[in-house]
Amino acid sequence: MLFSDKTKKKKCPECNYIAYSPYPIYCPNCKCAFDSSVLVEENEKKEGNFTTSTENSASLFNISIHQSDCSNRKNKISTKKPVFNTLLPPTASEMKKADDLTRNLKINTKKGVIFSNQAYQPNENVGNIAISKSKISDSDHRVRVKAKTKFKADLSQDKIFLGNHGEFMKFMGIITKERQNLFSSNSKYEYFLELGSNLDYIATSILSGELDRMLLAPPKGGAEEICYYLGSPQLLFMIFGNFQDKKAAWLLNQMKVAFHELLQSRDPSILSKIELYKLTQNFEKRVLYMLEEYVKFDDIFSPNTLQSVDDFLRIDYFGLSYQSIGVISSLISSHLEITGLPPIDLDDPDAEENLIELKEALITAKIEAIAANTIANTTLMPHWISVKLGFQRYRFILFSEVKGYYISFLAEGNLELKETKLYGIKRILENLTEKPFIGVLSEFQEKIPSIKSFLQKK
């Protein structure tokens, strides 16, 4: 039978606890010491070469054992703690208090790190451990993602902002050469269709070019706004607001292509109301797409404008008016060709002079009408209107206000040089424009030779 050898087991003299070889120093049950002589003797029989003595055994573990204390369980043995913790079986009272045997396990390793039923205390020399994330969190500043908001165009707005460069659109429209309105994005600015039609007539007939742009600004100063035009044999396309030149040209071309695709070579003047309604509705959907694509070009098109190839500004006509009353009108050069004039009798000795006067009267009437209509409808002062003559060649109608008087030029060349011309004319007319016009033309007519001489200089 297992464990039947009596020489291999001993009984505790206090609690009769039976221990088997190898025997413990203390009774696991009552912590009382076993008989040391018997233990050593039995161990010698078992091991054969193990030197035993009470003193050696006690000194090995640096323990003082008092035999007299074994009779009293309440008095604990006075011992000196070993240099390491030992695994001791729990008492009955400890078993009741402990929920798990591991809570009584105490192992000392490095200083500051104890695995026990106490809380874990990290070592000061141990650095922080960075745990990699499989997903970038919002608080991770190492990665910066630029969020893009999708632009949604709405034609019901009075001002549609386009991109992040201060660009906006107020109006988009299409009109026929016979003055039939085909499309208007905002009824509030629908007068631009009629105004554009008048300008187109002047540009193509009198100035022998194609209407290009018109720059507007409040009379008392403020932000400038511009109207771009693009013509075709039957139609005139326009946009009004603040645009970059290159992007405005792209938008006008997209309008032209899209509308002609929907029109399908039909004559717009013979379209029924239902056909015209369907046409404008389909075109409006395409306009919304165009504007959304326009915004995407913020980082593609350069904001720089093309520089003029000309290094001069030639003035062909000069006019001065006061509250729409003509004061001075004079042709400065002979370069201006005007079509549609009535025939002149060449045998008349005054034919050339009469032709000049007729040209002056016609140009004055048209320019005065443009200025008056523009200011009345838009409450904005036109600074200049450009007419395209060819590649990088433009003719301009220039306007400037000085104390209630309006100066107008017909010029060709580099528009950047206009300030020098305007400054010189204002100096010549400085004394006359200090007071309102009372109908006396003689003092103004005296200034015409000085004005012509200055404007004919290169």
- When mean pLDDT is compared over 22-26, 128-132, 244-248, the highest value belongs to 244-248
* Range with the poorest average pLDDT among 40-44, 220-224, 347-351, 365-369: 40-44
Q: Model pTM? A: 0.65
Q: Note the residue count of the chain.
A: 458
Q: What is the 3-state secondary structure (H, E, C) of the chain?
A: CCCCCHHHEEECCCCCCEEECCCCCECCCCCCECCHHHHHHHHHHHHCCCCCCHHHHHHHCCCCCCHHHHHCCCCCCCCCCCCCCCCCCCCHHHHHHCCCHHHHCCEECCCCCEECCCCCCCCCCCCCCCCCCCCCCCCCCCCCCCCCCCCCCCCCCCCEEECCCCEEEEEEEEEECCCCEEEECCHHHCHHHHHHHHHHHHHHHHCCCEEEEEEEECCCCCCCEEEEEEECCCEEEEEEEECCHHHHHHHHHHHHHHHHHHHCCCCHHHCCHHHHHHHHHHHHHHHHHHHHHHHCCCCCCCCCCCCCCCCCEEEEEEEEEECCEEEEEEECCCCCCCCCCCCCCCCCCCHHHHHHHHHHHHHHHHHHHHHHHHHHHHCCEEEEEEEEEECCEEEEEEEEEECCEEEEEEEEECHHHHHHHHHHHHHHCCCHHHCCCCCCCHHHHCCHHHHHHHHCCC
User: Tens digits of per-residue pLDDT, 94-144?
Assistant: 655 555 544 544 444 444 444 444 444 555 554 454 444 444 445 545 555
**Overall average pLDDT of the 206-224 stretch:** 86
Percent of residues in the chain assigned helix, strand, coil, to nearest 5 = 35, 20, 45
**Overall average pLDDT of the 249-254 stretch:** 94
Tell me the pLDDT band of 425, cut-offs 50, 70 and 90: very high
Cα pseudo-dihedral 147, 153, 156, 157, rounded to 10:
50
Tell me the pLDDT band of 215, cut-offs 50, 70 and 90: very high
| Contacting residues for 232 by C-beta, under 8 A, at least 6 apart | 256, 260
**DSSP character string of 322-342:** ETTEEEEEEE--S-----SPP
- When mean pLDDT is compared over 69-83, 171-185, 320-334, the highest value belongs to 171-185
- Quote the pLDDT of residue 57: 43
Residue 205 pLDDT > 60: yes
Residue 340 pLDDT > 50: yes
Percent of the chain with pLDDT over 70: 70
Tell me the pLDDT band of 248, cut-offs 50, 70 and 90: very high
**Overall average pLDDT of the 298-304 stretch:** 68
Measured at the CA of 193, the angle between CA 237 and CA 308, to 5 degrees, comes to 55
Under a CB-based contact definition with an 8 Å cutoff, are residues 420 and 314 in contact?
no
- Quote the pLDDT of residue 185: 93
Domains and CATH numbers, the chain: 9-107 (no CATH), 160-194+234-295 (3.30.450.60), 313-455 (3.30.450.70)
- Quote the pLDDT of residue 78: 45
Under a CB-based contact definition with an 8 Å cutoff, are residues 283 and 183 in contact?
yes
Q: How far apart are CA 248 and CA 112, in angstroms?
A: 74
> Could you give the 3-state DSSP secondary structure of residue 245?
helix
Residue 91 pLDDT > 70: no
Q: How far apart are CA 106 and CA 98, in angstroms?
A: 14
Residue 299 pLDDT > 80: no
* Range with the poorest average pLDDT among 127-136, 255-264, 390-399: 127-136
Number of H helices, E strands in the chain: 10, 15
* Range with the poorest average pLDDT among 34-38, 264-268, 295-299, 323-327: 34-38
